[in-house]
A and B are shown apart, each in its own frame.
Chain A
Amino acid sequence: MSTLGPQVLTVGSFQKHLIARKQKKAKTRRLMTAGLTLTSMVDMFSLLVIFLLQTFSTSPELITVSKNVHLPIAVSASTFRDAPVLAVTAEEIYVDQKLVGRTDDLLKNPQALLDRLTELRELWQRAHPHDEFGGHISLQADKDLSGAIVSRLMGILPSQAYSTVQLTVISRGGS
Chain B
Amino acid sequence: MAGASPTPSANGRRKNLDAELNLVPFIDLLSMCICFLLMTAVWLEIGSIDVKQYLGTDAPTETSSYDVELNFLSSRRAEVRVKTPDKSVERQTVDAENPALLAQAVGGVLEGLARRIGQGETQVVLAKSVSAARLFPNGGVSYGDLVAMMDAFRARGIVNIGVMPVKE
Contacts and interface: CB of A to CB of B under 8 A. Distances in A.
Contacts, number: 167
Interface residues of B, number: 48
Interface in B105-147: 136-138, 140-147
A155 B44 CA distance: 29
A158 B165 CA distance: 12
Contact of B49 (A41, A144, A167): A167
A59 to B, nearest CB: 7
A19 interface: no
A85 B53 CA distance: 17
Contact of A72 (B34, B37, B148): B148
A149 B53 contact: no
B103 to A, nearest CB: 10
Interface residue tally of chain A, by bracket? 35 or more
A76 interface: yes
B34 A80 contact: no
Given A72-B148, A146-B142, A150-B137, A52 B37 contact: yes
Nearest to A163: B53
Contacts of A15: none
Interface of A: 38, 41-42, 45-46, 48-49, 52-53, 55-59, 63, 65, 71-72, 74-81, 138, 141-152, 154-155, 157-158, 163-172, 174
Given A144-B143, A157-B53, A169-B47, 10 more contacts: A45-B34, A52-B38, A72-B147, A147-B142, A149-B143, A150-B163, A151-B137, A151-B163, A154-B51, A170-B44
